[in-house]
Structure 1
Amino acid sequence: MKLLCAEYNEAGEVAYNVIGDNALLRNNDDFYIPAFATELSCVPQVVLRIGKIGKHVAERFAGRYYEEVGVGIRFYADNLERELLAASLSPAAAMAFDSSAALSPMKSLTGVSPENMIFSFELNGKNVFTREVGELARRPEETLAAMSEYYMLKIGDFLFCGGTFRQRDLSIGDHLRVLLDGECLLDFQIK
């Protein structure tokens, strides 16, 4: 199992990468800020669970490669990311560290497209981001098809679809919740 991740910059340009399963944070466990992260941000995301092996998948067939959807939050050590980029080094350590990818339980999509589902992110009880899944920077099928050009899709892989919204300046005590169609799937605190 691997975590396939779409990474967006502020201009909406996207890159794709793979991170190890050491990054998973499950069961709504609290997120503990690592010592090297003096500035922390996160990106709430729609997550697909791959259910079929595939490579070079056409976008029109991408819906056949997943049957489950959930939500996730990717954490970023902003200070470390800046330092690595300034030194012309890969910023992977700033976004692929242990427990940096919170993952919710998956929901079955049998016969349903996620396009019209409402995706919401709440910080400390306030809704700060809401979109229909089909209104995100790229549709899940578009992201899956593009990702399959670079990486073999395998059963059990998780595809973090990414997004351009990034919540910055997170700190100890913040309470994060992510909802999909009004159902809270992620609910935990930063410690």
Structure 2
Amino acid sequence: MKAIAVLRHPSDCVETAPRMQLIADSAMVGAGRPLFLPDFAPSWRARIGLAFRISRLGKDIAPRFVGRYVDAFCLCMQLMPEGAAGDEAWGGLFDNCMALGTWRPVPDGEAIGIKLEDSVCDVGLGDIAVEQTVAAVSRYATLKTGDVIVAAFLPWVVGVKAGDDLRVDVDEEPALSVRVR
């Protein structure tokens, strides 16, 4: 299983050759498991994304068929180093850098309300452009069952440190709980 993050916000249009980041399978941590901060950076921040799970093998998928390949979504939180040499290059290449929330069914076109602490936003699947994003990624890589596509990152960036407990809700239900160690 691999994860591919498309580096865009929900309101950005999907490029035919989008900026993507490959995230190693050893970087992904399942729901309820803690994230451990590596010691190669003096400080850390995190961003929240909307991830979609691929349910079958596909290559060069047309946007109108993406619904046949995506079976669930979750929120994810990706750690990003600050102040390390080449901190942008680290991306998803270090272990334990992305927490996945609880998988849930993909809503049918309705907006979902996402809340992190005091910040709230409503995001519709049309805003996320799941069909166009998965289609764009599948143009360059064969998608396999269990792969994760992070279709967009919310505009929130949160500073994190060891001992933090973060919780993000979807429609007032817990969707992502992360303990930072």
Q: What TM-score, normalized by structure 1, do the two folds share?
A: 0.79
Greater fraction of residues in helix = 1
Does 2:6 align with 1:2? no
2:99 corresponds in structure 1 to 102
Matches within 5 A, 1:1-191: 1-8=1-8, 14-80=18-84, 83-84=85-86, 91-109=88-106, 112-113=107-108, 115-122=109-116, 126-134=117-125, 136=127, 138-163=128-153, 165-191=155-181
Detail structure 1 runs of 4+ shifted over 4 Å in the superposition.
none
Q: What TM-score, normalized by structure 2, do the two folds share?
A: 0.83
Secondary structure in structure 2 of the residue aligned to 1:108: coil
1:22 deviates by: 0.5
Aligned CA distance change for structure 1 residues 48 and 143 (closer, same or farther; 3 Å): same
Paired amino acid for 1:5:
A
Q: 1:178 touches 1:184 (CA, 8 Å); kept in 2?
A: yes
Residues matched between the structures, number: 176
Q: 2:21 touches 2:91 (CA, 8 Å); kept in 1?
A: no
Q: 2:31 touches 2:177 (CA, 8 Å); kept in 1?
A: no
User: What's the Cα RMSD here?
Assistant: 2.5
1:178 deviates by: 2.0
Q: Report sequence identity in percent.
A: 25
- C-alpha separation between the residues in 1 aligned to 2:159 and 2:79? 11
Paired amino acid for 2:44:
L
Aligned CA distance change for structure 1 residues 25 and 121 (closer, same or farther; 3 Å): farther
